[in-house]
Amino acid sequence: MVGATELTPAIPLLPFAAFLVALLVGHFAPRLLPKGGAIPGIIATAGSLLLSLWTFLAVSGGGYHAQDIYTWVAGQSTFSLHFGVLVDPLSAMMLVIVSLVAVLVHVFSLGYMNDEGETGLPRYYAGLGLFTFSMLAFVVADNLLMAFMFFELVGLCSYLLIGFHFREAGPPSAAKKAFLVTRFGDYFFLIGVVGVLATFGTARFVAVGDGVQSFPHLAEQALAAAGGDGAMPEHVASFLDVVGMEPQTWFAVLGLLVLGGVVGKSAQFPLHTWLPDAMEGPTPVSALIHAATMVAAGVYLVARMYGFYALLPTVLAVIALVGGFTALFAATMGVVKDELKQVLAYSTISQYGYMMLGLGAGGYVAATFHLMTHAFFKALLFLGAGSVIIAMHHNEDMWDMGGLKEKMPVTYYTFLSGSLALAGIVPFAGFWSKDEVLYYAVNYGLGESPILLAAYAMGLLAVFFTGFYTFRMVFLTFHGEPRSDTARDPHGVRWNVKLPLVVLGVLAATAGLVNMTPVAKVTGLHIEFLHQWLVIPEGSEFAALGYDHYHHLLEAFAGYGAAGVGTLAPAAVSLALAFGGAGLAWVLYNVDSPTEHTEKLGGVKTVLYNNYYQDEYQVWLAEGVTLPLARAADTFDQGIVDGVVNGVSSVSLFAGSRLKRIQDGLVTHYAALLTLSLVVLLVAFGLLGGWF
C-alpha cells in the first residue's frame, strides 16, 4: 500500500490539474466547465486537503520524509539543481493550513463570484488553481532554489488575481505595484539564493541520505570552525577565500539578502506598500493570498531555514526590529482607515510583523503558532468582510454600514470570533499565539539580548492599537443604526458563504488551545501540543529541523539566553492593553450613530491617512527618480552615443562630397593629376629606396 509520503507530490499537483482543466476547458469548451471551474477546483483542493491531513497524521507518527523528485539540472562537473519534497512538522502543518483555506476560499468564491454573476470565471479559477499549486509546492520545497522558484510563481498568481478585473483602471495598477514591490525584495532574495548556492554548493534545507549536505549545517560547521572547533568545509573555505570575508560577516550578508525577499512578500516595512493596494483584487483572493498564505510565505521561509538564521545574531536582531516596528507602524495606520478591507490589510501587515518579531526573538514555536492562528482568523475576517461586501453591493466604506448584526448573524458572530482572535482577547486563538511571541521577546530581551526589548516595546504598544482598530471595525460595521439604504436592506448570502465562515470561526476560537503555554506553565500539564509537535527527537535524520536543535543554535551561536520571566505577567500586560484598545473603541464607536473622531488627532491624522507618505516616496523613487534618469539616459543615447555613430557617417558623407569635386570632368585636369601623382610616387619611391 502506498504511504502518505509517496503521495506528497500529488498535494500540489492536484490543484495544478485543476488549473489546466480551468484553462484549457475554459478556453475551448467553456460550457463543459461546471460552475466556471469552481467544481474542479474544489475537488482538487479537497483532495489536497485530504492528502495533507493524511501526511499530517503520518508526520505525527514520526513519518518525516525528504525525497528528490526531479533533477532540474544535472551538473556534470558541478552541483546539480533539483526539486524535492520535504515533509516535516512545519511543512505538514503549513500544508494543512494552505489546503484548508484554499478549499474554503473556493467554496466561498461560489458565493462571491459565481452568484454575483462575474464574467471570466475560468480565468479566476485557473488563477486560484495555479496559486494553490505554487503555494503548496513552495511549502514542500526541500531547497532554497525551489522555494524561490515557487515564491516567484505565487507572485505571478497574485499579480493575475489582483488584476482580475482588468477592465477597470485600479486593479491592473495595484497588480503592477504588488509585483514590482515584491520583485524588488525578490531581487535581494535571488542574490541570496545564488550566494547560498555559490557559497555552499547546495541549497538544501536538510541533509537526508548519504553524501548529501544542507546549507544550514555547513554554515554551522563553518562558524564552528571559525571559532576554532572542527574543520571548515572545503567548498565554503574556497568561496570565502574568493570574497575575502569572515564566515560570520558573509553569512549575515546572505541572511539579510534572503530576508529582502521575506520583507517584500510578507509586506514588512519598508516594502509593505503593495498590500493595501492589493485589496483591489476580489475578496476571496485577498483572503487566500493576501492574508492566509502567500503573505505567510516570507515568514514561513524564515522558519524553514531557521537553522541558518539561528546562527546569526545580527540578522535575528534585524528581523525582530523590522517585525516589531512593522507591527506598530501598520497598526497605527489601520486606526484611521474607513474601508473594511483596508483595515484588514493593515492588520495583516501588523500581524506578520509579530511573526517576524517572534522569529527574530528566538520564538520559533511562537511565530509558527501565530502563523497558524493568523491564517485562520485573518482568512475568516476577510471572508467575513467579503460576506459584508456582498451584502452591501460592493460598497466597502464602513461609514455606510452599521447595524448589520441583526441582518446577518452568522457573519456577525464568526466575524466577532475572528476579531476577538485578532485583538488578542483570551481565550481566542490570537491571544495565545501573540502572547507567546511577546513572551519570547521579553524573555530573551531581559536575558542576553537587550535589543529585543525595543522590538518588544513596539510589539506591546501595537497590541493596544490592534484592539482599538479591530473593534472600531466591528462596531462601525455591525453595531449601531444602519447608515445607508443598502445597510438597511442588505443582500442575502447563501450557504456557500456561511459554511467557510463557520468552519473558520470555530477554528479562530479554538486553534489557540493547541499551545496554551501560560496554562501549561501554571498547571504543569503537558498541553503545549504545537511545541511538542515541532520538536524532532535527537537521532532522527531530521533533527536539524527540530525546535530543540534551533534552541541549541540560538544559545550556542546567537548568544540568546532566557531571563526566566514568568509567563503570566506579560500575558496580563498584553491582555490589559488589548482590552484597553477594545474599550476605547467601545466608548467611541459602539453608539447608535458613531461619528468620526479622527479630527482629534490633528496633524497626525493627515500623516496616518497618507500612510506616513510611504507610497509617495516610493512612487517618487519610481517616477521622480528612475523615470527621469531613464529619459536622461535615452537622451544621452540618442544624442551622444548614436550621435557619434551618425557623426561618423556624416563626416564620411561630407568628406566625400568635398573630395568628389576633384572629379570636375576636365580631361586636362585628370591628366595633370595623373602626371603629378606619378611624379610624387616616383619621388617617394626614390627617397625611400635611397636612389638619391
Partner 1 sequence: MAVAVEYYLLLSAAVFCTGVFGVLTRENALMFLISVELMLNAANINLVAFSHFYGNITGQVFSLFVMGLAAAEVAVGLGIVLVLYRNFDDVDVRNATTMRW
Partner 2 sequence: MLIEALIAVTLVSAFAVMLAPDEVAGKLAFALSLLPVAGSLWMFGQFDASGNALFESGSLAFETTARWISVGPYALNWHVGLDGISMPLVVLSTILTSLAIVSAWTPIQERQSQFYSLMLFMLASLLGVFTALDFFVWFVFWEFVLVPMYFLIGIWGGPRRKYAAIKFFVYTNVASLLMFIGFAALVFSLNVNSFDMIEVTAALAANDFGSTFGLGAETLKVLAFFAMFIGFAVKVPMVPLHTWLPDAHVQAPTPASVMLAGVLLKMGTYALLRFNFTMLPGVARDYAVLIAALAVVSVIYGAMLALAQQDLKRIVAYSSVSSMGYVLLGLVAYNYYGLGGATFQMVAHGLISGLMFMCVGVIYNVAHTRMVGDLSGIADKMPVTAAVFVAAAFGYMGLPLMAGFAGELFIFIGGFSATFPYAQLFTALAMFGIVVVAGYLLFAMQRVLFGPFSADTDYDIVPAAPHDAVAIVVLVVLVVVLGTVPEVFYGMIQDAVDPMVESLPEATAVLTGGEL
| Site residues for partner 2 per CB under 8 A | 27, 71-80, 145, 148-150, 152-153, 156, 160, 163, 166-169, 171-173, 175-176, 179-180, 183-184, 187, 190-191, 194-195, 197-198, 200-202, 204, 211-213, 234-235, 238-239, 241-243, 622, 626-627, 629-631, 633-634, 637, 641-642, 645, 649
The answer to whether residue 668 forms part of the interface with partner 1 (CB under 8 A) is: yes
Choose from partner 1, partner 2, none: what does 198 bind? Cβ within 5-8 Å by kind. partner 2
Choose from partner 1, partner 2, none: what does 452 bind? Cβ within 5-8 Å by kind. none
Nearer CB in complex with partner 2: 163/353 = 163
Judge residue 73's burial from the number of C-beta atoms within 10 Å of its C-beta, 0-12 exposed, 13-18 middle, 19 or more buried: exposed
Choose from partner 1, partner 2, none: what does 660 bind? Cβ within 5-8 Å by kind. partner 1
Spell out the SS3 assignment of 217-243. Answer: HHHHHHHHHHCCCCCCCHHHHHHHHHH
CA distance 391 to 408: 9
Nearer CB in complex with partner 1: 604/673 = 673
Question: In the complex, what is the shortest distance from the CB of residue 680 to partner 1, in angstroms, rounded to a whole number?
Answer: 15
Question: In the complex, what is the shortest distance from the CB of residue 655 to partner 1, in angstroms, rounded to a whole number?
Answer: 13
Question: In the complex, what is the shortest distance from the CB of residue 20 to partner 2, in angstroms, rounded to a whole number?
Answer: 12
The answer to whether residue 691 forms part of the interface with partner 1 (CB under 8 A) is: no
Residue 371 CA: distances (Å) to CA of 354, 409, 477 = 9, 28, 26
Q: At what angle do helices 121-140 and 294-304 cross, to 10 degrees?
A: 10
How many CB atoms neighbour CB 566 within 10 A?
A: 13
Q: Which amino acid is at 514?
A: V
Question: In the complex, what is the shortest distance from the CB of residue 176 to partner 2, in angstroms, rounded to a whole number?
Answer: 4
CA distance 620 to 628: 11
Choosing from 24, 621, 630, 672, the residue that interacts with partner 1 (CB under 8 A) is 672
Q: Which amino acid is at 666?
A: L
Q: How far is CA 595 from the centre of its chain?
A: 36
Nearer CB in complex with partner 1: 167/661 = 661
The answer to whether residue 675 forms part of the interface with partner 1 (CB under 8 A) is: yes
The answer to whether residues 420 and 428 touch, using CB atoms and an 8 Å cutoff, is: yes
CA distance 292 to 348: 9
Choosing from 653, 671, 680, 682, the residue that interacts with partner 1 (CB under 8 A) is 671
How many CB atoms neighbour CB 133 within 10 A?
A: 28
Choose from partner 1, partner 2, none: what does 31 bind? Cβ within 5-8 Å by kind. none
The answer to whether residue 234 forms part of the interface with partner 1 (CB under 8 A) is: no
Which residue carries 517576524 as its cell?
A: 356
Choosing from 242, 666, 690, 692, the residue that interacts with partner 1 (CB under 8 A) is 666
Q: For the chain, how big is the Rg over CA atoms in Å? A: 31
Question: In the complex, what is the shortest distance from the CB of residue 659 to partner 1, in angstroms, rounded to a whole number?
Answer: 9
Choose from partner 2, partner 1, none: what does 668 bind? Cβ within 5-8 Å by kind. partner 1
Nearer CB in complex with partner 1: 27/669 = 669
The answer to whether residue 664 forms part of the interface with partner 1 (CB under 8 A) is: yes
Nearer CB in complex with partner 2: 280/436 = 280
The answer to whether residues 316 and 309 touch, using CB atoms and an 8 Å cutoff, is: yes
Assign 65 to helix, strand or coil: strand
CA distance 82 to 311: 26
Name 74's Cβ contacts closer than 8 Å, sequence gap at least 6: 80
**Containing H/E element for 353?**
helix 340-360
Size of the site for partner 1 (CB under 8 A): 11
Question: In the complex, what is the shortest distance from the CB of residue 660 to partner 1, in angstroms, rounded to a whole number?
Answer: 4
Question: In the complex, what is the shortest distance from the CB of residue 74 to partner 2, in angstroms, rounded to a whole number?
Answer: 6
Q: Which residues bind partner 1 (CB under 8 A)?
A: 660-661, 663-668, 671-672, 675
